[in-house]
């Protein structure tokens, strides 16, 4: 039942039998995976880690039918994501620039902030002796989704936060992302200008955030490297709409790999199914230092999981090229 290991992800595969007819997917998966409770099975389904007939299913209530091919990716050795000293990319009088690891929440939910960016950053600065007790009052000035990695700016006081927010409003901050998208775009450079209707970032609900017309967004894209079934792109958002890059790529027919909100639902390639989160990384920020230090150009290296995926893709391309 257990499949091959792909960069740390080892799937459990089985085919539903007659006794499974009409059973909830969470119950079916829990019954076939040793040590997995129904609650834990529901969690991996919610997180897009279960596929039925190569299609991602995010509803625990999905009714299983005999013959369904089910593939589940239980979380193995999962630990709470922590900021490390190496994640501090730049530190000045007015701000700190982080390379946020994937899986780390920027904002807490329902008033709970434990384990999110700000308390972890405060603890890290105190541990390393760089916390200024009379000056530092950390303030978030923008956000990244939990499963998006990369550059995140944190102001060290309210005045600096106000100056940074003004730069965001004036579009004076340059942002670039690296993203792995399904398929290969027809042109090397292209632009998307269209409404961005963001979905609720939970349970793959598909519901828009409000019943009003969605705002328009603008993003420039460039192909960095093309593979047979996907491409590494650089995305430059010129507006700051929620989920803008992810929505625009879905509209263009090139959804972000591993994205459970915007697809791809159909994942015929085992590599794509093994990807555990959206392959989106905030790689560059150009910003004026609020403390008067001039223009900062900040770069964040790719996280380990994206490097592993790219390594598999490049290895596969070399093998295929050698066979031709």
User: Which amino acids are annotated catalytic?
Assistant: 145
Residue 156 has what DSSP assignment? Answer: S
3-class secondary-structure state, position 305: helix
Residue-wise burial string across 299-310, b where 16 or more C-beta atoms lie within 10 A, e elsewhere: ebebbebbebbb
Q: How many CB atoms lie within 10 A of CB 40?
A: 16
Structure tokens at 23: 């059973």
DSSP string, 219-272: EEEEEEEE-SSEEEEEEEESS--TTHHHHHHHHTT-PBTTBTTTB--B--SHHH
Give CA–CA dist 52/60, Å, rounded.
Answer: 12
Q: How many CB atoms lie within 10 A of CB 182?
A: 23
3-class secondary structure per residue, 167-211: HHHCCCCEEEEEEEEECCCCCCEEEEEEECCCECCCCCCCCECCC
Q: Do the beta carbons of residue 103 and residue 147 sit within 8 Å? A: yes
Q: Do the beta carbons of residue 296 and residue 286 sit within 8 Å? A: yes
Q: For the chain, percent helix, then strand, then coil, each to nearest 5?
A: 25, 30, 45
Q: Do the beta carbons of residue 251 and residue 242 sit within 8 Å? A: no
Residues in the chain: 324
């Amino acid at each position: 039942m257990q499949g091959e290991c792909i960069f740390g992800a080892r799937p459990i595969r089985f085919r539903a039998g007659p006794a499974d007819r009409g059973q909830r997917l969470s119950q079916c998966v829990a019954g076939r995976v040793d040590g997995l409770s129904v609650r834990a099975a529901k969690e991996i389904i919610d997180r897009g880690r279960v596929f039925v007939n190569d299609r991602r299913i995010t509803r625990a209530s999905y009714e299983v039918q005999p013959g369904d091919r089910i593939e589940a990716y239980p979380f193995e050795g999962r630990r709470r994501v922590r900021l490390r000293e190496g994640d501090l990319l730049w530190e000045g009088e007015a701000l700190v620039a982080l390379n946020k690891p994937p899986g780390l929440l920027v904002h807490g939910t329902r008033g709970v902030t434990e384990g999110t960016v700000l308390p972890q950053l405060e603890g890290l600065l105190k541990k390393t002796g760089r916390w200024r007790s009379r000056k530092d009052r950390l303030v978030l000035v923008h956000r990244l989704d939990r499963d998006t990695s990369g550059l995140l700016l944190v102001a060290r006081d309210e005045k600096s936060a106000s100056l940074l927010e003004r730069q965001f409003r004036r579009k004076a901050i340059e942002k670039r992302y690296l993203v792995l998208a399904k398929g290969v775009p027809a042109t090397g450079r292209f632009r998307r200008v269209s409404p961005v209707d963001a979905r609720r970032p939970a349970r793959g609900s598909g519901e828009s955030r409000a019943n009003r017309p969605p705002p328009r967004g603008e993003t420039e894209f460039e192909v960095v490297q093309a593979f047979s079934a996907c491409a590494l792109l650089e995305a430059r958002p010129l507006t700051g709409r929620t989920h803008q890059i992810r929505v625009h790529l879905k509209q263009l027919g090139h959804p972000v790999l591993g994205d459970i909100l915007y697809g791809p639902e159909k994942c015929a390639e085992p590599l794509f199914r093994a990807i555990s989160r959206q392959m989106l990384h905030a790689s560059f920020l150009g910003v004026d230092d609020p403390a008067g230090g001039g223009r900062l150009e900040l770069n964040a290296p790719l996280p380990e999981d994206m490097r592993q995926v790219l390594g598999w893709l490049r290895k596969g391309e070399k093998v295929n090229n050698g066979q031709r």
